[in-house]
Amino acid sequence: MKKFSLSTWLLFLIPSIIGILLFMIPFKIEGEWKIPVAILANIVAGFVEPIMPWTVTIVMILAALGSIIYQFMKDSNPEDQTFFEKLFQVNWFWTIVRVVGAIFAVMVVANIGPEAVRSGDTGGLLLSPTGLLSFLFTIFLFAGLLLPLLLNFGLLEFFGTMMVKIMRPLFKLPGRSSIDALASWIGDGTIGVLLTSKQYEEGFYTKKEAAIIGTTFSVVSITFSIVVIEELGLGSYFLPFYATVVFAGIVLAFIMPRIYPLSRKPEEYIDGRPFDETGETLPKGYNVVSHGLENALSTANNNRSFTKFITDGLKNVLDMWMGVAPVVMAFGTIALMLATYTDLFVWLGKPFVPLLMVLGIPEASEAAQTMVVGFADMFLPAILGGQIIESDMTRFVIAATSVTQLIYMSEVGGLLLGSKIPVNFLDLLIIFILRTVIALPIIAGVAHLLF
């Protein structure tokens, strides 16, 4: 192993430990377990709450206008693009999505236009002072600024080398993806998606790997899982509930990369390079620890510029604000409108009735619509189930299924579509349905043991 100076060791250890503390270690605040990044976001959100809807709307308007202007400018060579060209130079589809998101936002904050768009059950839910977009905006600020602590100083290289013999055979993923998974499970699914997207854009994941991580490991946080089970009046069952979610999640993480659509994603990097497995083989004379340390220290040694750290962080923030917020607003509002004002999800839930009946779940026809409504928003199954379901067993199944489904258009789904991770709407719908069908027998089996 090469020799490195003390300053290089400190440059690896200090930012990496701070990054782990900020993104992965939950602390109990006012009875709730939260990671420090989320705590910081909540503190700031409390101060800026009254102005958040208008702030988010202004950023969405800028994103829409910038994208329209850049549509009429000559495309630059991807390698020569400036940061703002990368930010605004999207195709017409995403330009339209940004415009729709901005229009919906203006309708909500100005209280104009159709009630269906600005209602407290649809766009108003997403863009209220305490709504999802207001929270995402503040979490993006801190996550964006501080993500380089996890990305730039060798932590991913160290764990990537250590975990490759577990992640590759089990989940068809590189070892470094273990950090993305951990950030999601302990922290929040949105942070996992953002981390994965940055790694993909920087050429560390293939298209297939990025799609697998984004749709398989972007798990709802422990904190939100508590909120879901409490909403359904089953707080005393939290431990078996979360154990069920973890077990079902691991089974799904093993199965999903091996079936359509994830199995069909190309094994090439964002720049078209084919998959290269040589980066995961150990050089002669090294073990996983020594090789992981050398990779980590080399990375830390190449990132000594504080200016670059700040610049990378600010770019992350703008990229998240401009790229993700309009997508969440556009797709989330449309999905919530369909759930609130149509019977679409009731009809889409019909095929689940026979499956739930075979699995012996009480109130199968009522429970079936909650199986699909979660595609719009992760909290809708718990809200709907709490209103129409009497059986504790069925409520348990709804809670565990809704957390295991992962793909919610008002959050993770919107984030995935807004990122450069190569998945489309149809992919997400198919993955959502497959996850539901595969997870249900596991969850139902546990429910029969408990009730």
CA 348 to chain centre: 24
Burial of residue 4, with CB atoms counted within 10 A of its CB: 0-12 exposed, 13-18 middle, 19 or more buried: middle
Could you tell me which of 319, 410, 333, 322 has the C-alpha nearest to residue 100?
Answer: 333
Separation between Cα atoms, residue 179 and residue 200, nearest integer Å: 14
3-state SS of 43-75 is HHHHHHHHHHHHHHHHHHHHHHHHHHHHHCCCC
Separation between Cα atoms, residue 95 and residue 8, nearest integer Å: 43
Contact yes or no for 404/439 (Cβ under 8 A): yes
Could you tell me which of 178, 179, 188, 253 has the C-alpha nearest to residue 225?
Answer: 188
- Return contacts of 337-343, CB within 8 angstroms, 24+ apart: 337/116, 337/117, 337/122, 338/376, 339/373, 339/376, 339/377, 339/380, 340/116, 340/119, 340/121, 340/122, 341/116
What pLDDT, on a 0 to 100 scale, did the predictor assign at position 77?
60
What pLDDT, on a 0 to 100 scale, did the predictor assign at position 21?
87
pLDDT in 10s for each residue of the chain, 451 residues: 678 899 999 999 999 999 888 877 777 777 766 778 878 887 888 888 888 899 999 999 999 999 999 888 866 665 567 888 878 888 888 899 899 999 999 999 999 999 999 998 888 988 888 777 887 788 788 878 887 888 788 887 888 778 888 888 888 888 878 777 766 665 566 777 878 888 898 898 999 999 998 898 866 666 567 778 877 888 888 888 988 998 999 899 999 999 999 999 999 999 889 987 666 677 777 888 888 898 889 989 988 888 888 888 888 888 878 887 888 888 878 878 887 888 887 888 899 999 999 999 999 988 998 898 888 777 778 877 887 899 999 999 999 999 999 888 767 887 788 788 999 999 999 999 999 999 999 999 999 999 9
Separation between Cα atoms, residue 205 and residue 211, nearest integer Å: 9
Q: Which amino acid is at 293?
A: L
79 DSSP assignment: G
Could you tell me which of 443, 261, 245 has the C-alpha nearest to residue 355?
Answer: 443
* CA dist list (Å): 384 to 376, 393, 420: 12, 15, 33
Q: Beta-carbon neighbour count of residue 348 at 10 Å?
A: 18
Q: Which amino acid is at 110?
A: A
217 DSSP assignment: S
Q: Find residue 29's DSSP bridge partners.
A: 32
Contact yes or no for 407/427 (Cβ under 8 A): no
202 DSSP assignment: T
- Torsion-angle region of 203 (φ positive above 0: left; ψ -120 to 50: alpha; else: beta): left
In the chain, what is the straight-line distance between the N-terminal and C-terminal CA atoms, in Å? 56
What pLDDT, on a 0 to 100 scale, did the predictor assign at position 221?
63
Tokens 């060579």 sit at which residue?
77
Contact yes or no for 38/165 (Cβ under 8 A): no
Q: What is the CA radius of gyration of the chain?
A: 22
Tokens 């990025």 sit at which residue?
210
Q: Beta-carbon neighbour count of residue 156 at 10 Å?
A: 26
What pLDDT, on a 0 to 100 scale, did the predictor assign at position 236?
83
Separation between Cα atoms, residue 228 and residue 220, nearest integer Å: 10
183 DSSP assignment: I
3-state SS of 405-436 is HCCCCCCHHHHHHHCCCCCCHHHHHHHHHHHH
Separation between Cα atoms, residue 189 and residue 182, nearest integer Å: 10
Q: 274: helix, coil or strand?
A: strand
What pLDDT, on a 0 to 100 scale, did the predictor assign at position 17?
93
Contact yes or no for 155/20 (Cβ under 8 A): yes
What pLDDT, on a 0 to 100 scale, did the predictor assign at position 108?
94
Secondary element (H or E) of residue 32: strand 32-34
Q: 288: helix, coil or strand?
A: helix
Could you tell me which of 374, 385, 343, 365 has the C-alpha nearest to residue 439?
Answer: 374
Q: Name the token pair of 159.
A: 């764990």
28 DSSP assignment: E
